[in-house]
Amino acid sequence: MKNNLFISKHLSLNILPAILLPIIVIATISGCNKESGREYSYKLEFITEEYKPFNYTENGSLKGLGPDLLKEICNDIGISFSSEVLSWDKAYATALANEHSVLYSTILNADRKSLFKWAGPYASLEWNFYSSSENPVELKTLDDARNVAGIGVLPDYAITQHLVSEGFSNLVYCENNQDAFSKLLSGEITLFPSDRITAEAALTAISKSIYNITNQLTFRTDLVYLAFNKAVPDRVVEDFQKGIDKAKQNGVLKHLYQIYMQSANPPDIIQVYTEQYPPLTYRNNTGDITGFGTDVVMEIMKRNQSYYPITLSLWSNAYELALHNPNFCLFTMDRTSQRENLFQWVGPIGSNITYFYVRAGSGITIKSVEEARALGSVGTVSSWFSDQYLRGLGFTNLVSGSDPALMTGKLMNGEIDAFVCTNITFPSILRSLNYQYNQVQPTYPLMSSDFYIAFSKSTPSSTVLKWQQALDAARQDGTYDAISRKWFN
């Protein structure tokens, strides 16, 4: 799936070079909707590309998660399903131009959001940095990958564009996935970014195994949808959304996911994401996602009798997903003027103070925002409210990274003059790096703010209200105070 992270027009990373024999067949919606009895009068033309395991031809038949799910939905609606398989560029252009088109399997992102109507998500795609198992490289953050000898990339792919936009200068261009994994195993490159399914298919094609490589870092997640031409009536898109939701609830999607994605965890009705931000949210030593914010969210879901799995992600990735995907929950998030109209809010669930921190004994003092602006460098975390706020104030001396532990290390190593962080989380970050809180000094309070649970704007308001009511009830009966005492007393 030539995954468009930012500006690429492409959809997906083609796993295997394929000589496509176009299956030029069209599904026409002219049958009866079994559930509503409504006659469709609108024609749909389903379009896809070769991208195993999402959509692929095998012995002349179209298979994969996308086609099999669509067959289930179309059968429920009461129509036949067939599809046209094209090259990605042609499929994407056709979907934009043809008012009857449905393009699958498609990643929803900022560039595409307004170009189509969407139903989903029905799959997620995780991007990993792989190394050879015989030549492992320890990566804790995306920035660690800047220091390796060479990262294999493919021309014009969005992952490549993402790494270029992040300033990576150690990129080595490869011809295709098979060439990249061959170079990885021979030691010509040190890392290659891919998703696991693509990696396994490419390795099989060169007579190797997934066990010949090791995932060193998962650095991005994308969600996969059906993309409808803008002219397709809303009622038709809604029927397919209902079909996807039904497949999630009755286990059909889980079954297909196990067959094609080698996983039993497809996207749920609501996506719930958080970040590594102790003690509010973090993965502990036993692998469980925990923390004050996590306990609050789990209590809300328990009261609503609707549990959704929690995914731990880099903040910048989760924040972008929350901006663009429907039915998306992200916690915890400071509610600021810049974000006020970008999300719906449940809370507040707590408050904190953000400081400019310096190393104890550094001799650096900050008595005003102006003095902070005059420093040589101020560390921030990408997409944190403090980073956004300082950029809004015109700071030009910011050094940003996606991982707060990385930025803390830069402060303690003298690579930056100050680091902006909250009083709640900074002690835990320091301890995780074997530093003591008395080794830093909070020199100037930047702001005090409340943090919340945030929902994407396209999440139904009834869902948000139900979460708020559950939180209010937990406050009234003392449960919220008990959770707070557990973590902060």
pLDDT exceeds cutoff 60 at 33: no
pLDDT at 368: 97
pLDDT band at 41 (very low <50, low <70, confident <90, very high): low
**Structure confidence at residue 474 (pLDDT):** 98
Task: Determine which of 138-147, 270-279, 300-309, 402-411 has the lowest per-residue pLDDT on average.
Answer: 138-147
Dump pLDDT digits (tens) for 181-195: 999 999 999 999 999
Instruction: Please state the rounded mean pLDDT for residues 77-106.
Output: 93
- Structural domains in the chain, CATH included, are 125-221 (3.40.190.10), 271-341+454-488 (3.40.190.10), 350-450 (3.40.190.10)
Q: What is the mean pLDDT of residues 209-231?
A: 94
How far is residue 314's CA from residue 274's CA, in Å, rounded to a whole number?
Answer: 8
Quote the pLDDT of residue 39. 56
Model confidence pLDDT, tens digit, residues 3-19: 443 333 334 433 333 33
Q: Supply the pTM of this predicted model.
A: 0.81
Check residue 38 and give its pLDDT.
54
Q: For 401-420, what is the mean pLDDT?
A: 94
Residue type, 417: D
- For the segment 202-215, the average pLDDT, to the nearest whole number, is 95
- The pLDDT of residue 187 is 97
Residue pLDDT, tens place only, 96-145? 999 999 999 998 988 889 999 999 999 998 889 999 999 999 887 788 89
Chain segment 150-178, per-residue pLDDT in tens:
999 988 676 887 788 788 999 999 999 99
Query: What phi and psi, each to the nearest 5 degrees, are found at residue 158?
Result: -65, -35
At residue 93, does pLDDT exceed 80? yes
User: What pLDDT is stored for residue 5 in this prediction?
Assistant: 36
- Quick one: pLDDT at residue 42? 79
Question: Terminal CA-to-CA distance of the chain, rounded, Å?
Answer: 48
pLDDT in tens, 342-380: 999 999 999 999 999 999 999 999 999 999 999 999 999
Least confident interval from 218-222, 309-313, 345-349, 457-461? 218-222
3 state SS for 45-109 = EEEECCECCCEEEECCEEECHHHHHHHHHHHHHCCCCCEEECCHHHHHHHHHHCCCEEEEEEECC
Q: What is the pLDDT confidence band of residue 37, given thresholds at 50, 70 and 90?
A: low
- For the segment 456-481, what is each residue's pLDDT rounded down to a tens digit? 999 999 999 999 999 999 999 999 99
pLDDT, averaged across the chain: 90
